Amino acid sequence: MSDQIILLVEDSPDDVDLTMRALEKNNISNRIVVCPDGAVALDYLHGRGPDGVHYDNPLPQVVLLDLKLPKVDGLEVLKKVRAHKRTSLLPIVVLTSSKEEKDMVESYSLGANSYVRKPVSFEEFLEAVRQLGLYWLLLNQAPPLPDDE
């Protein structure tokens, strides 16, 4: 299980640290790849390196996606990920501060698999991360990897 990757798309270093801490506290020892903005996340997922070099990055078991991101925001990432053959079925959990109905509706209609609002209380956040780990890393059957293009 722990060779599976979790892709964390999050621009705030504070939030990255707290999420890492929450994963650690829940004994989730998977490799975490952190992308500080939407553009980096898309490059990782679609194997694009600088100068057009193609990298064969392993696909994550699940993507934890913040919505408010510099350069390419979370909704745009969702749209592009779903449009791309390699990642069209990739499990994506939107993990955001926003309680806006609009964000929720748009996330789901763009193909998010889940929408979780980050609670203010760290204890509640710990619990949310625990359940997310349990569900997406253990319980959920990930879709098969697409054939190589």
Judged by the rule CB under 8 A, the positions of this chain that interact with another protein are 12, 14-15, 18, 21, 67-68, 96-101, 118-123, 125
Q: Rank residues 90 and 93 by Cβ distance to another protein and give the closer one.
A: 93
- Report the interhelical angle of 101-109 vs 74-83 (nearest 10°): 10
3-state secondary structure of 16: helix
Tell the smallest beta-carbon distance from residue 67 to another protein (Å).
8
Tell the smallest beta-carbon distance from residue 92 to another protein (Å).
19
Largest interatomic CA distance in the chain: 44
Q: Rank residues 79 and 118 by Cβ distance to another protein and give the closer one.
A: 118
Q: Rank residues 55 and 122 by Cβ distance to another protein and give the closer one.
A: 122
Tell the smallest beta-carbon distance from residue 126 to another protein (Å).
9
* Chain-centre distance for alpha carbon 116: 11
Would you state the structure tokens that stand for residue 44, as one six-digit string?
Answer: 């990782």
3-state secondary structure of 35: strand
CA 106/CA 67 separation, integer angstroms:
11
3-state secondary structure of 81: helix
Tell the smallest beta-carbon distance from residue 87 to another protein (Å).
26
Q: Rank residues 28 and 59 by Cβ distance to another protein and give the closer one.
A: 28
